[in-house]
Amino acid sequence: SRIPRIVILGAGYGGIVTALRLQKELNYNEADVTLVNKHDYHYITTHLHMPAAGTDDPQNARVSILKLIDEFKIDFVKSTVVQIRPNDKKVILEDGTLSYDYLVIGLGGEPETFGIPGLKEHAHFIRSINSVRLIREHIEYQFARFKKEPHRKDYLTFVVGGAGFTGIEFIGELADRIPKLCKEFDVDPNHVKIYNVEAAPTALPGFDPELVQYAMEVLQKKGVTFKIGIALKECTPDSITLADGEEIKTQTVIWTGGVRGNRLVEEAGFEAMRGRIKVDEYLRIPGHEDVYVIGDCSIVMNEEGRPYPPTAQMAIQQADVLAHNLVASIRNSSLKTFKYESKGTVASLGKNEAIGIAMGRKLKGGSAAMMKKIIDLRYLYIIGGIPLVLRKGYFN
């Protein structure tokens, strides 16, 4: 009989770990595995806040996919997916078509702007190597502009929308970078303003309040002004307006206030909530048992029936079960059910500062920053073993 074809869409956390697990588990000629990704590199999304602020090189946040996979076992296709056709069991790429017996959707998230006028058009988003390069250049450019037009204080006003994980981590890096930029461009640091706007009643909603307090104090000391419990209402090319009527003149808005799943899953006709699909206990789409969904495109419910937040940690844990289930389907053996186990969370606040919960303990400051490094290194180890840890490990 014909060899089953497995197609994996996206080489993010979910897709790449699934591919690596399949590469290990499958025997020769047991399945044809194809991995499709827009770029020929995998980016370490959880590290993107650093190159975005300019505190690290974008190069350190990506790894060539061909360095991770074994090309004798997995076909890598560098292309953009434009349509998923579950009824024909086909995926349409910008430059071709793939047929599958089993599909894995790991296309990741997209920014959610909740229809706030102007945000989609004028804000920046931390989502890929290309987008963070743009943010970094844009910030530097504002300093250069200010030197030519020193009355334009708006050039040096930076607004970050959203005080979730991504927003807080980015702000921590940005606050570290500002003094260096001021030196480089001979700018008085007092001219620089950093605002963090969050609609929820607290920064880092869901996090331990004592740690949130600590995080805010660290960032305030670095010059950040918080606008918490106030929604962003509108964004124009040179200002934002808040729900309380305040207008802030700025040329730079970085929006981190929401993520949704990929539009392609909605367009495929699957039942989705903001681009995310509620998967069954085996990580398949109910009614489409040949299609698995992983990472930011999937929804997994917790015990209280509420969706877990989409994280890299979730995607990596799903990949283990997903790969097992694909192999089991091919071998007609039994599937495993997925259960999420939180290993804790750490948010960095810039150099040597972080907060987090790990192994049931609250961490702050240097010990939390150390834990963050361990988590980063552990991931590099999972995907690339010791050689990748040595090549990319952030030892500075």
Binding site for ligand FAD (CB under 6 A): 10-15, 36-39, 45-46, 48-49, 80-81, 106-109, 126, 165-166, 169, 262, 295-296, 310-313, 315
**CB closer to ligand FAD, 168 vs 242:** 168
Beta pairing partners, 36:
9, 77
CB of 124 to ligand FAD, least distance (A): 12
**CA distance readout (Å), 121 to 12, 42, 54, 237, 313:** 25, 27, 23, 8, 31
Instruction: Render the burial of 188-203: b for 16+ CB within 10 Å, e for the rest.
Output: eeeebbbbbbbbbeeb
**CB closer to ligand FAD, 51 vs 118:** 51
Q: Of 84, 131, 124, whose CA–CA distance to 103 is shortest?
A: 84
* Beta-strand relationship, 288-293 and 102-105: parallel
**CB closer to ligand FAD, 123 vs 315:** 315
CB of 28 to ligand FAD, least distance (A): 27
CB of 167 to ligand FAD, least distance (A): 9
Determine the angle formed by the axes of helices 366-392 and 312-331, rounding to 10 degrees.
50
Question: Catalytic residue among 110, 169, 173, 353, which?
Answer: 169
The two tokens of residue 61 are 């946040």
CB of 165 to ligand FAD, least distance (A): 5
CB of 332 to ligand FAD, least distance (A): 28
| SS3 assignment, position 388 | helix
Q: Residue 207: which residues within 8 A CB-CB, separation 6 or more?
A: 345, 347, 355
Catalytic: 169? yes
Q: What string of H, E and C letters represents the secondary structure of 136-190?
A: HHHHHHHHHHHHHCCCCHHHHEEEEECCCHHHHHHHHHHHHHHHHHHHHHCCCHH
| SS3 assignment, position 357 | strand
**CB closer to ligand FAD, 143 vs 165:** 165
**CB-based closest residue to ligand FAD:** 12
Catalytic residue positions? 169
